[in-house]
Amino acid sequence: MKLLFEIDDSVWPILCDALAAPKTLAALATILPLPVRLQTPKIAGAHIYWQAPLLCDLEAGADIMSLAPGAFLYWPERQFLEILFAPLQQETASVTALGTLEDSGRVAEIARLGDRVRETAGVRPMTGVLRLAEGQDLPAPVAEVPRVSELAALHICRNEIWQAPPPELADLIADRGILHPAGPVLFAESEARGLHELLWWMRRDGSPVVLQGAAPVAIDKAAARLGGFCHLTSCAEVLTGISDLLRSGKVPAADVIDETILYLGGLSAWLDTAIPWNAVNEAFRTATEPQKDLPS
């Protein structure tokens, strides 16, 4: 399978091995063309990535540190699609290797794109599209399973968050209160990301006591923080509704958790791309520079 990764006027063909990860690539093909909103890495460093509404289990797992520059991969735990452009600084993760850049000589272009993403994060988002190359057919669509009304409503919320950010986010970014907007936006991103990852682990556990007992408590806690401290009231209302739905037992808990993970993936992506991470990091470095001279 051949994909085209497009940003501005640049196009990078990606060759994917359908035999290596058939389930993940089949699922990816059904959501193409996929809008791309690039995010900047905060730990691993040498890759570009973007969130995708793609919930797949690990397939033919590979150690991310073993993959070569130019590798195209899917990280199930966070629903990230990524392209590596150099050895990573630090990462411990098993990922699904999907393919590589068709022309390995263009890895340097991805590295330069990574620099642009880092420098413009939170100020000028880098957007593009991932699509199938011409002459390739999409797989036959899977018939939609009829949804009970409660799950259908959650599905709508999930789709909406992938289309547009929370309505309160723009006002939150414009807030000039004491340590605003950095405090609430950074904490909101951390809260959404933390719950997103925790629910993935709960999904993997799969036991009823976790999905219907522990998950609602974790969701309630995050809703309280996002609404009461970070002023994202619409997100808090969605999460509270999810918690109530899980406790009601009206819908299979596993289905609710899957939709919630995808909802949180969309939310955390909006929050992540609203933060000028490079400027935050440079300010942190500058502020802590005097500490180097302090006695240990």
pLDDT above 70: residue 144: no
Give the CATH number for residue 123: 2.40.100.20
Same domain, 155 and 260: yes
pTM value is 0.91
CB within 8 Å of 293: residues ≥ 6 apart: none
- Shared domain for 53 and 124, answered yes or no, is yes
Q: How many Å apart are CA 113 and CA 108, to the nearest integer?
A: 9
**Average pLDDT score over residue span 159-165:** 96
Residues 253, 198, single domain; the answer is yes
Dump pLDDT digits (tens) for 185-219.
999 999 999 999 999 999 999 999 999 999 999 99
Whether residue 115 is predicted with pLDDT greater than 60 in this model: the reply is yes
Number of structural domains (the chain) is 2
What average pLDDT does the chain have?
92
Last residue of one domain, picked from the residues 68, 98, 132: 132
Question: Would residue 52 count as lying in a domain?
Answer: yes
Residue at a domain's end among 99, 132, 165: 132
- Sorting pLDDT into bands at 50, 70 and 90, what band is 135? confident
In this structure, is residue 247 part of a structural domain? Answer: yes
Does position 169 have pLDDT exceeding 70, yes or no? yes
Which of 192-201, 253-262, 283-292 has the weakest average pLDDT? 283-292
- How many angstroms separate the most distant Cα atoms in the chain? 66
150 — pLDDT class (breaks 50, 70, 90): confident
Q: Is residue 175 part of a domain?
A: yes
In this prediction, residue 219 carries a pLDDT of: 98
Whether the per-residue pLDDT at 253 is higher than 60: the answer is yes
Dihedrals phi, psi of 76, to nearest 5 degrees: -60, -40
Q: Are residues 67 and 186 in the same domain?
A: no
- Are both 118 and 153 inside the same structural domain? no
The pLDDT > 70 percentage for the chain reads: 94
**Burial per residue of 189-204, b for 16 or more beta-carbon CB atoms within 10 angstroms, e otherwise:** bebbbbbbebbbebbe
pLDDT band at 149 (very low <50, low <70, confident <90, very high): confident
What is the average per-residue pLDDT within 29-55? 94
Question: Does the pLDDT value for residue 100 go beyond 90?
Answer: yes
Do 128 and 157 fall within a single domain? no
| Cα atoms in the 13 Å half-sphere on the side-chain side of 170 | 3
- Domain contains 289: no
Instruction: Decide if 94 contacts 64 (C-beta within 8 A).
Output: yes
> Where does the pLDDT of residue 92 fall: very low under 50, low under 70, confident under 90, or very high at 90 and above?
confident
User: 126 with 157, same domain?
Assistant: no
Residue 73 forms part of a structural domain: yes
Q: Are residues 24 and 70 in the same domain?
A: yes
Query: Helix, strand or coil for residue 82?
Result: strand
Q: Is the pLDDT of residue 116 over 80?
A: yes
Q: Tell me, what DSSP letter sits at residue 210? A: I
Distance between CA atoms of residues 31 and 60, nearest Å: 21
Residue 268 has pLDDT above 70, yes or no: yes
| pLDDT range class, residue 90, cuts 50, 70, 90 | confident
What whole-number distance in Å separates Cα of residue 199 and Cα of residue 219? 9
Q: Which of 101, 132, 163 is the last residue of a domain?
A: 132
CB neighbours of 211 closer than 8 A, spacing ≥ 6? 202, 203, 205, 246, 253, 254, 256, 257
- Residue 138: inside a domain: no
Residues 113 and 219 in one domain: no
Helix (H) / strand (E) element for 36: namely: strand 34-37
| Euclidean distance between CA atoms 108 and 56, whole angstroms | 30
Q: Give the closest residue to 50 by CA, choosing from 16, 74, 77.
A: 74
Domain-embedded: residue 161: yes
Q: Does 15 lie in the same domain as 84?
A: yes
Shared domain check, 230 and 171: yes
Residue 139 clears pLDDT 60, i.e. is over it:
no
Task: Looking at mean pLDDT, say which of 137-141, 247-251, 289-293 comes out highest.
Answer: 247-251
Instruction: Work out whether the CA dihedral 169, 175, 181, 183 comes out positive or negative.
Output: negative
- Among 65, 69, 64, residue whose Cα is nearest residue 106: 69
What would the mean pLDDT of 145-174 be, rounded to a whole number? 90
Q: Is residue 143 part of a domain?
A: no
Structural domain boundaries enclosing 258: 149-281
Residues 106 and 154 in one domain: no
Closest CA to 239 of 181, 288, 293, 166: 166
